[in-house]
Amino acid sequence: MAIITLSEIFSLIVMTLVIGYIFTGKFTRRVKTVYDMMHPKRFDLNDFKFAILVTAPAIVLHELAHKFVAILYGFTATFKMFLFGLGIGVVLKLVNSPFILIAPGYVEIPLVNDALAYRLIAFAGPAVNLILWIGSMIILERAKNLTRTQVAVLSLTKTINMILFFFNMIPFGPLDGAKVLFGPS
């Protein structure tokens, strides 16, 4: 059995590109000009790459953590792209919504009856966000002579991962926080 399939790799790549598109223009490392403000729908490849750089690791590594912890416990785990959840994010971007809501994917795991394993698998994703958040915060505080781009990437990485950590730990519905708190139902 392969640890990760070609289908999963394809889904992760598509999800990364769509997330990059959704956040293009929300995060930019350059100062916006008057032209940029007058043409907000103009696609900028550099902004697209920058959006991928700061958002994709938080989301992709979060999902892969669920997958690999489940595999360590002996379960089959498959990453699934959630097209409807990505579609919501694309629609919100197209209508220039001031907020973004996406549910880009999930890891499909069979029924887990072991409460500890269930909770650890659920917490693995938010744990990655916690590590990325604290890691980027420490680097920002201790590193000297960072370039402007490095500071921008680390600042956004810190913010995005903090938001994802707290959002995913809400003990409600399908969010990881409910699984961690309440265990298998």
Residue 139, domain extent: 6-182
Could you say which DSSP state residue 143 is in? -
Per-residue pLDDT for the chain (185 aa), expressed as one digit of tens each? 679 999 999 999 999 999 999 998 876 665 566 666 566 666 788 889 999 999 999 999 999 999 999 999 999 999 999 999 999 999 999 998 888 888 999 999 999 999 999 999 999 999 999 999 999 999 999 998 999 889 999 999 999 999 999 999 999 988 999 999 998 97
- 147-152 long-range contacts (CB < 8 A, ≥24 apart) are 148/29, 149/29, 152/29
Per-residue confidence (pLDDT) for residue 100, from 0 to 100: 85
DSSP-assigned beta bridge partners for residue 91: none
In a domain, 70, yes or no: yes
User: In angstroms, rounded to a whole number, what is the distance separating the alpha carbons of residues 101 and 22?
Assistant: 10
Q: Which two tokens stand for residue 96?
A: 């220039």
Amino acid at 23: F
Q: What are phi and psi of 54, to 5 degrees?
A: -95, -20
In a domain, 1, yes or no: no
In a domain, 120, yes or no: yes
Per-residue confidence (pLDDT) for residue 35, from 0 to 100: 64
Q: Which two tokens stand for residue 109?
A: 């795991």
For the chain, give the percent of residues with pLDDT over 70: 91
pLDDT digits (tens, 9 = 90+) for 11-37: 999 999 999 999 988 766 655 666 665
Per-residue confidence (pLDDT) for residue 41, from 0 to 100: 62
Q: How many domains does the chain have?
A: 1
